[in-house]
Structure 1
Amino acid sequence: MCLGIPGQIVEVTDAANDLALVNVGGVRRVINIAFVIGEGRPASACIGEWVLVHVGFAMSRLDEQEAARTLALLHELGVAQGEMDDIAGMDELRDELREELRSAP
């Protein structure tokens, strides 16, 4: 099953490439925010906003109440922890791959 999980944008890490740091249940990772910004709306305007995160992309914006309701429902269903573990695992895998590339001849 594929689903998005609410996360809050805490920092723009690379505005030129539409990348931002998002907090998803205490796990922080960099995601692409291109889908939630547009012409005339800078990436910095997204700081503090809630977004629906799926496979490293912010798919849409959510208001805080909707994010809280969604997180509560996901926790009830027991789904949120698995999704957060997947997000944390992707960060670990990325770091391992970077290290392998650095040490490659």
Structure 2
Amino acid sequence: MCLGIPGRIVAVTDAAHCLAKVDVSGVQRTISVRLLADDMPEPDEWVLVHVGFAMAKIDEKEALLTLAAVQQLGVAYSDELDAFRRSPA
């Protein structure tokens, strides 16, 4: 199962190529924010991450509620976080 998981933008690492570092439950990775180029996320904003892309900006309250909900999925959440952890930084 592939989930969209909330992540907090840590830094825009390459604005020209629409790349940002995101923190998902303590795991940091560089993702594409190209789909949000018209409303580029800034540090400390939250996005919904799916397969290395930020799909949408979300507010912090929604992010925390979504994280709590996906964590209740147990193995599906753990598997998704493990896949994110193993992905290239």
Sequence identity percentage: 50
> What is the aligned residue count?
88
- Which of the numbers 41, 60, 63 marks the counterpart of 1:64? 60
Give the equivalent residue in structure 2 for 1:88: 85
More strand by share: 2
**CA apart distance, 1:24:** 0.4
Q: Quick check: which has more Rg, 1 or 2?
A: 1
Whether 1:48 aligns to 2:41 is no
Question: How does the TM-score come out when normalised to structure 2?
Answer: 0.89
Gaps of 5+ in 2: none
Asked whether the equivalents of residues 7 and 22 of structure 1 are also in contact (C-alpha less than 8 Å), the reply is: yes
Question: How does the TM-score come out when normalised to structure 1?
Answer: 0.77
More helix by share: 1
State the distance in 2 between where 1:82 and 1:36 align. Answer: 26
The RMSD of aligned alpha carbons is 1.5
Question: Greater RCO between the two (CA within 8 Å, min separation 6)?
Answer: 2
Instruction: Tell me which stretches of 4 or more aligned residues in structure 1 moved more than 6 Å.
Output: none
Gaps of 5+ in 1: 95-105
Asked whether the equivalents of residues 31 and 52 of structure 2 are also in contact (C-alpha less than 8 Å), the reply is: yes
State the distance in 2 between where 1:18 and 1:81 align. Answer: 28
